[in-house]
Amino acid sequence: MKIDNFFAELKRRNVYKVAVAYAVVGWLLVQVATQVFPFFGIPNWAVRLVVLAIVIGFPIALTIAWAFELTPQGLKRTEDVDVAAQGSRKSHAWIYVVIIGAALSIGLIFIGRYTAFRSAEDARTPAAAGFLPQKSIAVLPFENLSDDKSAAYFADGIQDEILTKLATIADLKVISRTSTARYKSKPEDLKTVSQQLGVATVLEGSVQKAGDKVRVNVQLIDAKADSHLWAKSYDRDIKDVFAVESEVAQEIADSLQAKLSPAEANTLATAPTNDTVAYDLFLKGESQLRAANASLRPESFDQAIAWYQQAIGRDRNFALAMARLAESRLSQHWFVETFTEPELAEVKQTVENALALAPSLAQAHVAHGLFYYYGYRQYEQALAEFGRALQLQPNNAQALEYSGYVYRRQGQWQRCLDTLKKSIEQDPRNADVAGNLAQTYCILRMWQDAERVGKYALNIDPADVIGMRALLLAILNGSGDIKRARGVLATFPSANDLISSSASGIVASVTGDRAYTLVFARDFKAALKVWETSADTPADQRRRLSAKATIHALADDFTGAQADAEKVRQLLEERLRERPNERVSMRELIWVYLALKRDADALKLARQAVELLPPERDALLGYSNLAGLAEVEARTGAASDAIAILRRLLTIPAGETVSVARLKIDPVWDHIRNDPGFQQLLTLKEHVGP
């Protein structure tokens, strides 16, 4: 009976109600702390403090509920309250507290789950779902402690070589350098870093170089617990730096209990060269190549190539330097200046030399794959080489990324999407991969996905050109909202003209997407201002004059176009005599001819561009070239031919160049806009998805 009386007294004193209400409100506060605090960058210790305060407060709340009652006259001791009077009053306020608190808690749970789901969809990283594989590591940038601050390239090289060795181990997940380079040497919040990269452990390090001596300090950290697993310091001669890299990689593998095959163990113990001077030159080339790939400046590629060549001059057996030399030259060919056949033959010889010296070097197979891809668009051979590189080095992010791009050229859209998403798992902070995924969504007319992933790319790197173009096209081609597109454009760095580096076949590739967004708004004066800057190189001069002449032509201002068009015509014709198949120059000359009213010449060259690179050979640029031909036909009176091409492009993945929303606002179609056939296109249901 006493126990029954005790529980009855608990009920009378509202202890049950307070317990339920406290639990619900406490749970709500926990949800707010865990879901909202990280958004504002509030550290994790604050979340733990909130949870601890709630736990400690629970017995205190129950004690107060037992000892006191809330009455219309205020808070009174329970013994002083009239029991009969209290029983006649039934307050339902606690019920409302419970219901409202429960509803808010459930809402926050769903918001948190939805956010995690979208993040996982965007980046496809295990961290987004809260899963961090134990055998996973990110090697953060090594701090340069040398008195000579220009020796930062040497610290970067030590980090890169350790990472490269680890990437060989199939039993480990190793994050690419492209992603880790976006962090400090010693970030303040390692837990956030590990979640963003999807790894359980992080390696921090520093390098101090003085004369022929080097000190390397490294520490392996359990990022989830923010605790050191081990730390070591190596004081060695420069010539022993390769042994240090191998020892560190082996220590990490042992600590993470990674199983190594004999081949993997051999790779960990192998040095890329025995010549420390050659290695130093190679590291300078690596640093310069990263700068060249970021800027696409010809002089940066030239300097990187020179460093690699000097390294090879010191060590004729330096296969890794040969592979990277070939890669740098192929990137120059693809993004900057089309090579002649003799130049491509030189690159081929470099790749073959690297493979002959080191047939099991993954980077040599990546270079060979790039030769097939960038050099001749031989896709099956390229995929075979990238596949071999992944067999030799399972964590090779480059090979995976390039495979996705090759699938896109082949028109294997679903395989392209799957591979690029997998690539982002391997390289979660690589803005270029994310930007290319967003671009692929544009091609497939999956506008919401394109916009979301484009924003993700720009969140990683606000200056990423591919991400900027993808986000802009997702808005313009998806909805035709020019006002919103201009608003987004205003947030991009003003110095970037947003030129397509892949030599797209449409007119916007001549003017750049920054200027063409203004052309959409028919603000031709503002579009011309984009190109008022001075030209630094012959290529810049050709591009600037071509863009201005094209904008004048789109505005039907042929008088204004005359001077620039005539000047650049001579430059472009001379350029094409030297390099007959250079797509960038062909596209620029097509529109220069239109600006000079040489319609027959423009049409002939546009058809030649399609023959040179038809859709069957390149699904990405082939259909873009077709769209470019349709533009020229629309401007030269061949309306029915242009409309036939547009109808075809609306039924296939070609959303980067043609969409119904874009057709409605693009001035390039003004000459055929009132044609019944063109108007019918605006009612068609366009192809969406892979």
Q: Is 207 exposed, middle or buried (0-12, 13-18, 19+ CB in 10 A)?
A: buried
Helix (H, G, I), strand (E, B) or coil at 505: coil
pTM confidence score:
0.78
pLDDT at 214: 86
pLDDT at 435: 94
Cβ–Cβ < 8 Å for 361, 266: no
Percent of the chain scored above 70 by pLDDT? 82
pLDDT at 489: 93
CA–CA gap between residue 108 and residue 102 (Å, rounded): 10
Angle at 216 between CA 214 and CA 217, to 5 degrees: 150
- Measured CA to CA in angstroms, residue 242 lies from 245, 273, 285, 515, 577 at distances of 5, 9, 18, 50, 49
Quick one: CA dihedral 516, 501, 663, 595, positive or negative? positive
The per-residue pLDDT for range 66-110, each reduced to its tens digit, is: 666 655 555 556 555 544 444 444 455 555 545 565 555 555 555
User: Could you give phi then psi for residue 209, rounded to 5 degrees?
Assistant: -110, 130
The per-residue pLDDT for range 586-596, each reduced to its tens digit, is: 999 999 999 99
User: In this structure, which amino acid lies at residue 410?
Assistant: Q
Residue 330 parent element (H or E): helix 319-335
pLDDT at 412: 96
Cβ–Cβ < 8 Å for 609, 640: no
Q: Which residues of the chain are modeled with pLDDT < 50?
A: 1, 38-41, 82-90, 97, 111-129
For the chain, what is the radius of gyration of the CA atoms? Answer: 31
CA–CA gap between residue 682 and residue 662 (Å, rounded): 10
| Contact partners, residue 648, CB within 8 Å, separation at least 6 | 626
Tokens describing residue 474: 């997702």
Tokens describing residue 449: 């996905």
pLDDT at 114: 43
User: In this structure, which amino acid lies at residue 462?
Assistant: P
CA–CA gap between residue 82 and residue 84 (Å, rounded): 6
Tokens describing residue 51: 């949870």
Quick one: CA dihedral 644, 646, 649, 651, positive or negative? negative
Which long-range CB contacts under 8 A does 597-602 form with residues at least 24 apart?
597/558, 599/635, 599/636, 599/637, 600/636, 602/632, 602/635, 602/636
Domains of the chain listed by start with CATH number: 2-123 (no CATH), 136-269 (3.40.50.10610), 276-452 (1.25.40.10), 497-681 (1.25.40)
pLDDT at 478: 96
CA–CA gap between residue 286 and residue 362 (Å, rounded): 17
